Structure 1
């Protein structure tokens, strides 16, 4: 569960919930009750509207607190990155097979904690899977990111 303690985000979420509760009040008290006072249709409309409103609340809450797919930081990978960054990147870019046994061990160590198509994020200096991008608000890489809900 992810929860950001951003005052503006919390205020906007509360404002959204208050607007939804006010909409429920207006629909039930001012539209359904006077129109369908003694009819079964009034109960049916009220139940359907409140069901849709519940789904809207649940969807919004789930979007706020669900993990957007943040790529975990692997401390072993970070240590490997700091110690052998230049040598490791040179190995990946070389097309010749002039590698030594320690170079092969280095590549095998890299493949233990990440896949072959992973790239290095220049902002958070962590390895990320394909289609992951760095989010400037979360300050982390997010998997399959086109956009995600960052505020509360």
Structure 2
């Protein structure tokens, strides 16, 4: 077995992709994100190429400068939203999952055959409101309040708002403010370009084709999220009607004040990532069978055989088992002994040879 150190992002479950040694985290479906980049860069390029030269000369050179600054801010917020960890919660380790399962079984007891087990829910109290924590069968954890499992990224996200294909990532606790600033700045940039397009048309006195879909869709999205921020809600909670259902349960996260809600969402502390995706971990991988054995391993085998398994078993220590210099000298013949032949010994007589010798002696007598 060969032990090597790898980054934790290489072994993280889910359907996310990582770049730049784990610093960039996105969803696998990034086709719409590239379309977003193309639309923003293409629209601004046309504006800078055709409208800005005429407007800078005839109106003010500050028009293209402000448009460039706004464009850079839009791109920064887009990339910050797309490349950051939205608040993915780590899955339970095998030991933790086993312990949680034992707790659930002990609390629910034995369920008779044919009956459905009770839902795995824990109740917590937040601002005098009972909030249910649901159990995630994929991540093997009880999700924190406002967290949800994204089916596209296959991960639980803290304060899950929605999965946005336009930014190629989930929108959650750690990147929601950047997403909102992206939509807000993009709305301002769209209105800015649209306004000076109209000015350019009036001054040049010729018709141009203006796309209204981009203007109203982006501005409408910004207005919707402004409404959610003022109530301290998420898109997921608004769609499910978590705080406006039949029970009329009040939102326990709202401060009953628009300014306080906006300050908490947009100006609150930046939460660190809990994934530690750039941390190191050890991985054991089997050694290749085709690799030739090293010289150190070849030398170690005979030494192990000599010390642990002597040829002649005895009660001596391993040092006594090793042949001494004198013994090796006795076993090794000298050059003189090799030159002089050894004396031949008479063969041993067998019983049949003795019988024939006695018969010859009798005939001679």
Q: TM-score range by the shorter chain?
A: 0.5 to 0.7
TM-score of the pair, normalised by structure 2: 0.30
Distance 1:149 1:15 in 2: 13
Unaligned runs of 5+ in 2: 1-23, 110-121, 125-132, 170-365
Structure 1 pair 131–14 and aligned structure 2 pair: CA distance change class (3 A): closer
Aligned to 2:144: 129
Which protein has the bigger helix share?
1
Distance 1:146 1:32 in 2: 38
Question: Structure 1 residue 23: deviation in Å?
Answer: 1.9
Deviations 1:1-58 (Å, cap 9, x if unpaired)? 422333xx2x32222222222222222221120233276x22x111111111111111
Distance 1:66 1:148 in 2: 13
Moved over 4 A (4+): none
TM-score of the pair, normalised by structure 1: 0.65
Distance 1:127 1:32 in 2: 55
Aligned to 2:53: 33
Which protein has the bigger strand share?
2
Q: Is the 8 A contact 2:48 2:64 kept in 1?
A: yes
The alignment yields a C-alpha RMSD, in angstroms, of 2.7
Aligned to 1:103: none
- Structure ranking higher on relative contact order (CA contacts 8 Å, 6+ apart): 1
Greater CA radius of gyration, 1 or 2? 2
Distance 2:97 2:40 in 1: 46
Q: Is the 8 A contact 1:131 1:143 kept in 2?
A: yes
Q: Is the 8 A contact 2:150 2:157 kept in 1?
A: yes
Identify which of 19, 27, 30 aligns with 1:4: 27
Structure 1 pair 130–21 and aligned structure 2 pair: CA distance change class (3 A): closer
Structure 1 pair 81–146 and aligned structure 2 pair: CA distance change class (3 A): same
